[in-house]
Amino acid sequence: MKNWWHLDIQEAARTLETDLAGGLSEAQVQARLTRYGPNALREEKGRGRLKIFLDQFAGFIIWVLIGAALVSGFLQEWVDALAIIAIIVLNAILGFIQENRAEKSLLALKRMAAPFSKVVRSGLRASVPSADIVPGDLIELEAGDHVPADSRVVWHTPNFAVQEASLTGESTPVMKTALELEERDIPLAERANIVYLGTAVVAGKARALVAETGMLTELGRIAGMIQSITSETTPLQKRLEQFGKWIVYLCFALVAIVFVMGLLRGGKVLDMFMMAVSLAVAAIPEGLPAVVTIALALGVQRMIRRHVLIRKLPSVETLGCATVICSDKTGTLTRNEMTVRAVFTMSGTYEVTGTGYEPKGEFLGEGAAVDPKENPDLTACLKAGVLCNDSELIENEGGYKILGDPTEGAILTVAAKAGIRKGPLAERFPFIEEIPFDSERKQMTIVRSDPERKTFTAYVKGAPDILLSRCAKVLDHGVERPRTEADLARILDMNGRLSDQALRVLAVAVRTFDREPDEYHASHIETDLTFTGLLAMIDPPREEVKEAIDKCRHSGIKTVMITGDHKNTAVAIARELGFFGEDSLALTGQELDALSEADFDRDIARTSVYARVSPEHKLRVVRAWRKRGDVVAMTGDGVNDAPAVKEADIGVAMGVTGTDVTKEVSDMIITDDNFASIVAAVEEGRGIYDNIKKFIHYLLSCNSGEILVIFTASLFGLPVPLLPIQILWVNLVTDGLPALALGMDPVEKDIMDRPPRPTHEAVITRARMGLILSQGFFIAFCALAAFCFVLLVEEEGIVRARTAALFTMTCSQLFHALNCRSQSRSLFRIGPFTNMKLVFAGGASFLLQVLVIYLPFTQRIFRVEALSLVDLVVMIIFSSLPLWAMEIAKLVNQRFRFIPET
């Protein structure tokens, strides 16, 4: 944007070739519409519902499963084909439900623009569509209006204020001026003579010259940044895609080996093909995509209970490897409730306890509790603050809230702590007149009458340095006396010390008139004042955030504050919360601009606070961290946060204060705007990834057991122990409910004591794969032992032997699910019943397996027959061996440490 704030009004009008009195002519408007185009944001086409649904079939494993279904259908194995198709469709439906949100960020941005605006054209006032506004238009604004374009203020009433939170992130309304600003390079939040598209007028009236429209506005530039950012796949998506390909290639290799070996041993081509199909069905983890999707979806439901709403499913897992959390200050790290921390009067300085708008707290003087009612200076200061106040402190079911300005709310709250309420005071001293705050005077005054004494008193509050220059007296121990130079030095010294603590300081003064003033003008009323005190306040940190940040530090996650607030305030909050140390750096947006990329890359790890930043700065910070290989979570609520939120690995929007734009580009929404909820989400994300690894471990060890059964039988010339339909049944009954129950295993207590997981870490490490294969070998051994026991020892038929192998394979996998809850900790130390979902899932799967064996209808489908009670008991004993073997291994591992931890 051009430095419009640096131009005086006449120069701005000349540059824009417009008339300050009459505005543009219709001919000029039409010419500029042709030149600049409509005052609208360029739309970006989002994904339609059909495209979102079709995208669910894009994974490599999904295509392999589709191929397996086609082969099964070609061989007329319709049950197999339908089962595989059902799994594919279920996975697609679950993914579609979670992702059925088109990119609405540009539509949300458009909603922030006013549909109609008031303009002056050819000397006449008119209401025109905001899309028809052009550079040079003279617009009129008043309280309640949305600003239609970036504009230079040329006239305003004294109380003209604009709410710019959506652009700057700071909730306090900004007083505007028509004066030119001396500096050329000024942060957006400090451009006091510019109003921006997407902001709203909260008080007063103004006229302004439109300087930029459409995509050239600050909001338009943000929209352009959002459009330029492309979505990337998450670490889990990348790893699962690679992992799926590895599994499929291995499967094809084994199928080819078995097929060739069978032919060399004299087997029939069709029989060998059927065996190869059986092996393929055994090798491919059909349930993996669905189970991962369902586990993530179940994790989403758990997160809702912790005030986290997940918009994009894979981001659940990405949270688990977050290494940096870039957070806004106001309302996320802090309460967004201004709180008076200290009161200074001529009789002493008093610390005030308590936070927020709840009027609970004490006044401490030199560490001891003080009764304000016994201190006339303190009482007078607080009364003056209450009577110079347009806001209201309201109690409701959820606690206390402020109707009006947060700063005035803090004054009402501290007074209420002293037992001074506005209602009774305002009744006793009726309102007469108000001189509103303006950016030149930097103070406001309310005049009230005292019917009993028949006097009138002006209550004044404002910037200490300016207000003190209007004070001729001070209130000292309840007595007014002339102000001395020593008094002035003392007050200014205290103001400096309080400001150094990042406290916002207001001075309060009064003036009493014997009769009603002749005129209510600032120059007449705001002179010869009596100083009563200083009120020092801050938006305090949330109590629970400090513990959450400690947890982050302990788990290897760096916290970074990015705020539109002033540097000293931001550093004070960061220091109080414990993430700004001796070696930490704080940078403003201007200081960041002055740094080269090399210098910034060098300092980024030490920089904990960024203040007075623009959307480009936030985007630069996020990209710098990502370039280092870090996984970044970025929080935001305003439109100015949206590009960085979209760029981050995990974009986090605020649910209470967040704009629609930021919510639409985010991956997740914090419904209580609390930093502690983000940390809770990281904890859940780590737990979900742990559980994903558990059930992948479980699926692979079970599938490798099925592969080894068929491969070994082929190697030794035995009949096929399991038919394709039987293998598919095993996968359905064991890969379904038990795998899902593993995905809901409770989060381990020490999960936040571990460092973040590297993004390049494989889902299954080599060491873990070794453990998987050894467990798969043991499962295969049990099933083959049962098969050979019935076939060779009992000399029963092949159908009965396959039934025994099927039953043992299923039950051994159900026992093995208990192993997978931890690689190294005993099931009995964890507690067999601490995951009752797994117990019930195992019981349900066991019951289904029994029904398959004993129901005549299912016997025909799965080609099995009933087992005797003796056979059943023997098979259950065989099936439990993997559990006991692993328990022994875990016991030995406590001394020799041979089982991998990851």
Q: What is d(CA 787, CA 718) in angstroms, rounded to the nearest whole number?
A: 10
For every residue of 479-499, which 3-state class applies, written as one string? EEEECCHHHHHHHHHHHHHHH
Query: 789, 804 in Cβ contact below 8 A?
Result: yes
* Catalytic hit among 132, 150, 328, 745: 328
CB neighbourhood size of 595 (10 A)? 16
| Gap between the Cα atoms of 632 and 873, Å rounded | 54
Residue 174 to residues 6, 120, 177, Cα–Cα distance (Å):
18, 25, 10
SS3 572: helix
Whole-number Å distance between alpha carbons of 470 and 530: 9
Alpha carbons 245 and 762: distance in angstroms, whole number: 13
- Closest by CA to 564, choosing from 600, 608, 610, 604, is 610
Give me the residue label for tokens 């098979």. Answer: 875
- Residue 741 in tokens: 């129950």
C-alpha–C-alpha distance, residues 149 and 216, integer Å: 9
Strands 668-670 and 650-654: parallel
As a three-state string, the secondary structure of 147-208 is CCCEEEEEEECCCCEEECHHHHCCCCCEECCCCCCCCCCCCHHHCCCEECCCCEEEECEEEE
CA distances (Å), origin 268, targets 37, 260, 276, 711: 75, 11, 12, 17
Distance between CA atoms of 214 and 231, rounded to whole angstroms?
25
Please check whether residue 731 is in contact with residue 814, taking contact to mean a CB–CB distance below 8 angstroms.
Answer: no
Residues 6+ apart with CB under 8 A from 14: none
In 478-487, which positions are buried (b, 16+ CB within 10 angstroms) versus exposed (e)?
A: eebeebeeeb
Whether 603 is catalytic is no
Tokens 């558990």 locate to 694
How many Cα atoms are found within 13 Å in the side-chain-facing hemisphere of 605? Answer: 7
> End-to-end CA distance of the chain, in Å?
52
Torsion of CA 370, 372, 373, 375, to 10 degrees: 80
Q: Which amino acid, 53?
A: F
Q: Which amino acid is at 346?
A: M
347: which 2 tokens? 């009789």
In Å, the largest CA–CA distance within the chain is: 121
Give the residue numbers marked as catalytic. Answer: 328
